[in-house]
């Protein structure tokens, strides 16, 4: 009987070591060597401190900053440990109420703006972590941000244009603006007083 069990035990130990220890170490080593920034979460550092990631959205509600797509994660917004959408369907009354509330907040923040509100400012993404908004959503916010920072709308539009990423390989996805990178560029262009 031991002659039949021995090969199974040896195979279990061998493949456990191979797939549970060796393979992860090799893949991690390759990732750290070839793609170190991506392997470490695309973190953005300022003064030696990580302030965010280009892959995960952050909460901005100050009028002088661009606001990102809303997050449906709980208990806190943009919580990467609980990535999820609201799972509310398009005819759900709770979703419609949430959208109305978001639209009201946007209108209160910029009452003079009569442009239609882009859908990505009124709805949450499926993951709840989206770090991007559409160029239309960024354009909608330009007057509010410019007014709050006492700069011209054209200066703000230039920064938006500089931080607009085109479709991946010209084919995949849509044009997008990374909100954290844009807000950091705004702060760099206009130092704190």
Q: What DSSP state is assigned to residue 20? A: I
- Say if residues 159 and 189 touch (Cβ distance below 8 Å): yes
* Nearest in space to 145 (alpha carbons), one of 59, 62, 54, 57: 62
Q: What is the pLDDT of residue 29?
A: 94
Q: What DSSP state is assigned to residue 118? A: P
pLDDT tens digits, one per residue of 5-57: 999 999 999 999 999 999 999 999 999 999 888 888 888 888 888 888 888 88
Rg of the chain in Å (alpha carbons): 23
- Say if residues 92 and 98 touch (Cβ distance below 8 Å): no
pLDDT tens digits, one per residue of 29-38: 999 999 888 8
pLDDT tens digits, one per residue of 116-162: 999 999 988 778 788 999 999 999 999 999 999 999 999 999 999 99
What's the Cα-to-Cα distance from 117 to each of 6, 7, 42, 106, rounded to whole Å? 68, 66, 30, 8
Token digits of residue 65: 């900053």
- Say if residues 73 and 130 touch (Cβ distance below 8 Å): no
Among left, alpha and beta (phi > 0; psi -120 to 50; other), residue 49 is beta
Model confidence at 65, pLDDT cuts 50, 70, 90, reads very high
Token digits of residue 49: 């401190």
* One-character DSSP codes across 169-185: TTTBS--EEEHHHHHHH
């Amino acid at each position: 009987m031991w002659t039949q069990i021995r090969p199974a035990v040896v195979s279990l130990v061998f493949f456990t070591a191979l797939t549970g220890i060796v393979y992860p170490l090799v893949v991690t080593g390759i990732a750290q060597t070839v793609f170190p920034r991506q392997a470490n979460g695309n973190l953005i550092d300022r003064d030696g401190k990580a302030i965010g990631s280009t892959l995960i959205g952050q909460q901005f509600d100050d009028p002088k900053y661009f606001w990102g797509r809303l997050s449906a994660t709980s208990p806190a917004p943009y919580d990467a440990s609980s990535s999820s959408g609201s799972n509310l369907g398009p005819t759900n009354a709770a979703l419609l109420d949430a959208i109305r509330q978001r639209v009201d907040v946007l209108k209160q923040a910029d009452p003079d703006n009569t442009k239609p509100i882009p859908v990505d400012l009124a709805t949450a993404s499926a993951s709840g972590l989206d770090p991007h908004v559409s160029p239309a959503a960024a354009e909608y916010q330009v007057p509010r941000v410019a007014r709050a920072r006492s700069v011209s709308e054209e200066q703000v539009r230039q920064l938006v244009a500089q931080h607009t990423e085109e479709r991946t390989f010209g084919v995949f996805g849509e044009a997008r603006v990374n909100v954290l990178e844009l807000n950091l560029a705004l702060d760099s262009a206009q130092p704190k007083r």
